[in-house]
Amino acid sequence: MSFEVIVFDCDGTLVDSGAMIVAAMAGAFDASGLPAPEAAAVRQVIGLSLEEAVRGLAPQLAVETRRAVVRRYRTAFGGLRADARYDEPLFPGMAALLEGLDGAGRRLAIATGKSRRGVDHVLAVHGLAQRFVSIQSADGNPSKPHPEMLRRAVAEAGGAPERACMIGDTVFDMEMATLAGVAAIGVGWGHHPPDRLVAAGARAVAEDAGALEGLLLP
């Protein structure tokens, strides 16, 4: 496979933020007087925009209650950044992979359900902001699997859908890619298992960063 534009998801693909997301969601529900969702359930909605994730976890909530949970999640997540027990490390090999793709002339972008503030923080911590020519977040786009954020990422990177691919760890990423007419490639270290990624449209699922490099730089 050879692509001019390579778009990455963030949580579960570039960075391992699952523990922070689960803890922040538990804190948000608890602060709202609601039972905390199971960790496994939270991990299944990672990748959606925050409001859609809360809706998926508790569809019975009234709109105002759901919005209150969203606000409390943001507060809780921000607080966890100061807690030494939590961080958002890059998955093994991802820094080197991004460097190699950049050096090979590929144009890199991000399409994520994370807030722009959260993405900027992660990229700054890991010194990666200069790698990406477009960053599309949940702040200004419909939630995955709607294709708009991916279409914008590819367009801002100066590419065409048929020469682009989406790298992600969830079915939301794979479905978004299919809707946008972009090739979908899954990663096996995130939140949804490989068989679900393939069923959702992944052309291949990489088991580690080395395997992903082999798919992207043939």
The pLDDT tens digits of the residues spanning 160-217 come to 999 999 999 999 999 999 999 999 999 999 999 999 999 999 999 999 999 999 999 9
pLDDT for 218 beyond 80: no
Same domain, 126 and 201: yes
How confident is the model at residue 166, as a pLDDT?
Answer: 98
Interatomic CA distance for residues 56 and 168, integer angstroms: 20
Using alpha carbons only, what angle is made at residue 16 by residues 30 and 155, rounded to the nearest 5 degrees?
105
Q: Which of 47, 80, 113 is the last residue of a domain?
A: 80
Choose the catalytic residue: 11, 16, 169, 173: 11
Among the candidates 63, 80, 97, a domain finishes at 80
pLDDT in tens, 10-53: 999 999 999 999 999 999 999 999 999 999 999 999 999 999 99
173 noted as active-site residue: no
Domain count along the chain: 2
Residue 74 and residue 141 in one domain: no
How does pLDDT run across 48-85, given as a tens digit for each residue? 999 999 999 999 999 999 999 999 999 999 999 888 78
**Is 11 marked active-site?**
yes
Same domain, 28 and 129: no
Pair (174, 210) in one structural domain: yes
53 and 9 in one domain? no
Q: Which of 9, 16, 169, 173 is catalytic?
A: 9
126: domain range?
5-16+88-216
